Amino acid sequence: MTKNYHEVIICGAGMIGLTFALLMAEKKIKVCIVDKSDKRLLFAQQDNRTTAISQGSYRILKKLGIWKKLKNEFQPINQIFVSEGLGSHDINFDYKNLGEGPLGFIVDNKLIKTILLNEVSKSKYVSFKYGTEIININNEDIDNSFIETKNFDLYFKLLVAADGRFSRTRYHANIKYYYHDYKQTAFVFNISHSKKHHGVALERFFPTGPLAILPASNSKIHQSSIVWTVDTAVATDKAFKDNFKEEFEKKYDNFFGKLISISEVKKYPLNVFSCYDIFKKNIILVGDACQAIHPIAGQGFNLGLRDAFALSKTLEKSKELGLEPFNLCLMKSYESMRSMDKTLLVNATHSLNGLFSGSGKFKSLFRKTGLKIFSQSNFLKNQSMLFAMGLRNLEA
Ligand SMILES: Cc1cc2nc3c(=O)[nH]c(=O)nc-3n(C[C@H](O)[C@H](O)[C@H](O)COP(=O)(O)OP(=O)(O)OC[C@H]3O[C@@H](n4cnc5c(N)ncnc54)[C@H](O)[C@@H]3O)c2cc1C
């Protein structure tokens, strides 16, 4: 074999590609990560988002030793209030009802990515090709598969695509997917407010889209992270743009006291990509490359992490059995392991967004009745909490 041969190549050093590399390193399996960004750019990321990390994901990251590196820079979510518009909290999810610890944790994306990058850089099981964009993939012959990049070819046995929602690997592998443009824009920013948040997260549903207010960790000020989804038709309207802060304040409604400041605002157009196949030949998709979902429930990373976790276990098994990393039977078992979770979340987030966005008397009545039934059933609330916490769908 040429010197540019790696049994397992991961395309994409996002949060999923990096965590997958560390899960493999934990099992003493060598991998090579390829990312189109150069090292400087990867470390100086511009991501101003926070991620709601579920209990299940927390347990994976803790076992990997990542959690302790966050020191105390994470915010536990103790309660989630859900309401239609500015109404009183129609549903109240409380961590005390389950005894499984906090409902989740809010973590700064820049911080966790930096920790993951540092850990990957230190690992003797992970090699890194920065500034390397995949131009083409040639895997007609599974035993002689290679990636073409601008400067060299990289040979592999198994290629793991973790290159995000616009995955080029998925394109080269010719894996088909369902796509839908929500015609919505997510505005992401941080706010500081006069009162403490006490670990409370709030999800308010408006006809123009949901507003999520997530408690943030900050020892100096009272801070929350905002993901405000707005129909793109409204978001591009001049009057809305000119009065952005006022429009937000109306929806925020002094929930945590007076609004003190708003950080820089970043925009994300919202869409869903969901692949019909999880793998094709010796190319396998994980994270957003496989399914990129609406952020309404803050589950995309958690779902992708479960992909990474299950795939690392599958590859550990193939190593134990002395098989090649690409083994059709094991890949099929991986696929069946992941299909249900993926299908459930793609459909649940899609339907939730459809139900909770838009106006109309029938929809509104349906929402109100649904919320009422839900709020009165501890069983429903507890089951959905366990699911959202990643404790119902984690093949541990
Ligand atoms: C507004 C918003 C809020 C969200 N909030 C939450 C939340 O609270 N909780 C949650 O669980 N999820 C959340 N998500 C989803 C979450 O952010 C994603 O699921 C997650 O970041 C996906 O990570 P990834 O590693 O799969 O992909 P990405 O982060 O997209 O990483 C892909 C990597 O691949 C590289 N790459 C791309 N193309 C190539 C190529 N051709 N060659 C080489 N490298 C390439 C890129 O440089 C990048 O480093 C949110 C999403 C949005 C939009």
Q: What is the pLDDT of residues 322-334, one digit of tens each?
A: 999 999 999 999 9
Residue among 36, 284, 322, 14 at smallest CA distance from 145: 284
pTM of the model: 0.94
Q: What is the pLDDT of residue 393?
A: 59
> Which pLDDT belongs to residue 3?
64
pLDDT of residue 389: 79
pLDDT-wise least confident of 78-87, 154-163, 373-382: 373-382
Q: Which residues line ligand 1 (CB under 6 A)?
A: 11-17, 34-37, 49, 51-52, 133-134, 162-164, 168, 186, 188, 227, 268, 287-288, 295, 298-302, 304
CATH of 5-179+271-388, one of 3.50.50.60, 3.90.480.20, 3.20.20.70, 3.40.50.720: 3.50.50.60
CA gap 183, 297 in Å, rounded? 18
Q: What share of the chain is helix, strand, coil (3-state, %, to 5)?
A: 40, 30, 30
220 Cα: distance to centroid of ligand 1 (angstroms): 29
Look at residue 86 in the predicted model and tell me its pLDDT. 86
Phi, psi of 214 (to 5 degrees): -115, 130
pLDDT at 395 > cutoff 50? no
- pLDDT at position 283 is 97
Angle CA(216)–CA(231)–CA(287) in degrees, nearest 5?
A: 55
Residue 222 predicted with pLDDT over 60: yes
Strands 91-94 and 79-84: antiparallel
Report the pLDDT value the prediction gives residue 234, as an integer from 0 to 100: 95
User: With contact defined as beta carbons under 8 Å apart, do 104 and 389 qualify?
Assistant: yes
The mean pLDDT of the chain is: 92
pLDDT of residue 39: 86
Per-domain boundaries in the chain: 5-179+271-388
8 A C-beta contact, residue 206 and residue 289: no
Average the pLDDT over 29-56 and give the result: 91
- 47 CA → ligand 1 middle, Å: 10
Q: Which tens digits make up the pLDDT trace of 158-178?
A: 999 999 999 999 999 999 999
pLDDT score, position 176: 97
Query: Across residues 173-194, what is the average pLDDT?
Result: 97
Give the pLDDT mean for 247-255: 96
In ligand 1, which atom is closest to the CA atom of 292?
19
Q: How far is CA 338 from CA 119, 127, 279, in A?
A: 27, 27, 11
What percentage of residues in the chain have a pLDDT greater than 90?
Answer: 76
Confidence grade of residue 374 (pLDDT, cut at 50, 70, 90)? low
Instruction: Give 32-70 as a DSSP string.
Output: EEE-SS-HHHHHT-----EEEEEHHHHHHHHHTT-GGGG
On whether the CB atoms of residues 197 and 224 are closer than 8 A, the answer is yes
**Residue 1 banded pLDDT, cuts 50, 70, 90:** very low
* Rounded Cα distance, 89 and 80, in Å: 9
